Structure 1
Amino acid sequence: MPSVVRILLIAGLVSLVTGCSLFKFPGVHRIQVQQGNIITQEMVNKLQPGMTRRQVRFVLGTPLVEDTFNPNRWDYINRVRSPKGEETQQRFTVYFNGDQLIETSGDWQPANWP
Structure 2
Amino acid sequence: MPRIPACLGLAALLVCGSGCSYFSDFSMPLPTFYKTKVRQGNYLDEATLGTITPGMSKREVQQRLGTPLVTDPFHQNRWDYVYSYRPGTYDDGEPEQRRVTLYFERDVLSRVEYPPQG
Q: Same fold (TM over 0.5)?
A: yes
Q: 2:98 aligns with which of 90, 93, 111?
A: 90
Partner of 1:41: 46
- Specify the alignment match of 1:24 in structure 2: 31
Change (3 A) 1:55 1:68: same
Structure showing greater relative contact order (alpha-carbon pairs closer than 8 Å, 6 or more residues apart): 1
CA positional deviation for 1:50:
0.6
Q: Summarize the Cα distance change of 1:32–1:107 in structure 2 as closer, same or farther, 3 Å threshold.
A: farther
Map 1:69-88 → 2, pairs under 5 A:
69-84=74-89, 87-88=95-96
The one-letter amino acid paired with 1:93 is T
Residue 103 (structure 1) aligned to one of 99, 104, 111? 111
Q: Which runs of 5+ in 1 are unaligned?
A: 1-22, 109-114
RMSD of Structure 2 on Structure 1 (CA): 2.4
Q: Which amino acid aligns with 1:97?
A: E
TM-score w.r.t. the length of structure 2 is 0.63
Report deviation, 1:86. 5.6
Larger radius of gyration: 2
TM-score calculated relative to the size of structure 1? 0.66
Deviation, structure 1 residue 30: 3.1
**Unaligned ranges ≥5, structure 2:** 1-29
What CA deviation, in whole Å up to 9, does each residue of 1:30-66 have, x standing for no partner? 3211011111111111112110000000010000001
